[in-house]
Amino acid sequence: MRRSTTPNARVLAVATAVPPYELGQAEVMRRIELALGPRSREIMRLLPMFGNTGIDRRYSSVPIEWYETLHDWPERNRVYLDSALDLLEVATRRVLARTGRSLNDIDAIVVVSTTGIATPSLDALLMERMQLRRDIRRLPIFGLGCAGGAIGLSRASAMARNDPGSLVLFLVVELCALCFRRDDFSKSNIVATALFGDGAAAALISSDGEGAHIGGGGEYTWPDSLDVMGWDVTQEGLRAIFSRDIPELVTTKLHDVAVSFLSEHGLTLRDIDCFVCHPGGAKVLDALEVAFELEPGALVTARDVLREYGNMSAATVMFVLERTIGDSQPWRRALVSALGPGFTAGFTLLSNDLSS
């Protein structure tokens, strides 16, 4: 694992945004049963999964009726572009308002997204829409999946560190719900339908200002793991790939990788008093608690975010971070972590102790 140098950067604020359509988990399950159940016994067998996800509701960029008809890849991607930009603008304005900064203060943009294709990239489209400065440095990041929040945060902090005093806008947007395919009876499609929601987040990062220090970042990609998770691109859009072994991989493999990352920074798991984890699902959260030597149920904030928003891929860990920063519960060191395609673990260290 490669260790980054200790950056002089802070998270000044985090803000989140969700689209307007709320999807109640019970209603989604009812519609899946009515639409797909009569055509597949396997669907009926998988329906209890909806009640075991730990999710009460999610949010969608389109109304639930939209999913009941067929949509090809170009149409889905058009929805992605329009909705992603709407959410990014809302999140950007919210995070600027929280810090009293203006659009003209932004010196760089890092945008993470893996649920659609945009060329020009989302950062360029957002610049045009919001009339941002023409000399802003741009870094679009594609393909990190659920790990994008943790890894992207580290990339954005590196940009802030390399240009002291600059203001970096870090953005994440994922429209995972758009991947539902009404004629796909595979288990992966039903798992995705039970888990995925849409959302976006923004963070302002700079070496100037008040906020949690961003320490080292790192990642680890396991060998022979390319088929653990990802997307297939088909005529109907993106099709989710999930391995049934993900919770077991987290339970058995993540601990040693996390310990190795922390040791490079002179820390152990016991030195971390706050774990900001991407909540991929209820079973993954159980596995994370084992991997990080925590008591069962200890990842309360991650479970709350999962219950209220579902799995929004890379954006989800930023929802957890927003709540962690705003929580009155004091903490000194936090470990931001997420797992994504590759199969890759991403880490970023945060500290509220300036002497650490």
pLDDT digits (tens, 9 = 90+) for 337-354: 999 998 999 999 999 864
- Total domains in the chain come to 1
The residue segments making up the domain with residue 68 are 1-356
Is the pLDDT at 356 greater than 50? The verdict is: no
Catalytic residues: 146
Is the pLDDT at 119 greater than 80? The verdict is: yes
**Nearest Cα residue to 83 out of 146, 20, 149:** 20
Specify the pairing of strand 274-277 against strand 333-340: parallel
Q: If you average pLDDT over residues 126-137, what whole number do you get? A: 96
Res 5: pLDDT: 47
Q: What is the pLDDT of residues 301-346, one digit of tens each?
A: 999 999 999 999 999 999 999 999 988 778 999 999 999 998 999 9
CA separation for the pair 234, 29 (Å, rounded): 25
Reduced DSSP (H G I as helix, E B as strand, rest coil) percent helix, strand, coil of the chain, to 5: 45, 25, 30
**Residue 146: DSSP 8-state:** G
Specify the pairing of strand 344-351 against strand 333-340: antiparallel
Is the pLDDT at 1 greater than 70? The verdict is: no
**Share above pLDDT 70 across residues of the chain, in percent, rounded to a whole number:** 95
3-state secondary structure of 340: strand
Q: What is the CATH number of the domain that holds 23?
A: 3.40.47.10
Q: Please provide the average confidence, as pLDDT, over all residues in the chain.
A: 90
Amino acid of residue 111: V
251 close to 292: Cβ distance less than 8 angstroms: no
CA separation for the pair 304, 326 (Å, rounded): 14
Q: If you average pLDDT over residues 187-196, what whole number do you get? A: 83
Is the pLDDT at 300 greater than 90? The verdict is: yes
- Any idea which of 23-27, 37-41, 189-193, 217-221 has the lowest mean pLDDT? 37-41
According to DSSP H, which parts of 240-354 are helical? 246-263, 282-291, 300-309, 316-326
**Nearest Cα residue to 139 out of 150, 128, 157:** 157
Of 280 and 84, the one with more pLDDT: 84
Q: What is the pLDDT of residues 222-256, one digit of tens each?
A: 999 888 888 888 777 787 887 788 888 999 999 99
Res 187: pLDDT: 78
Is the pLDDT at 29 greater than 60? The verdict is: yes
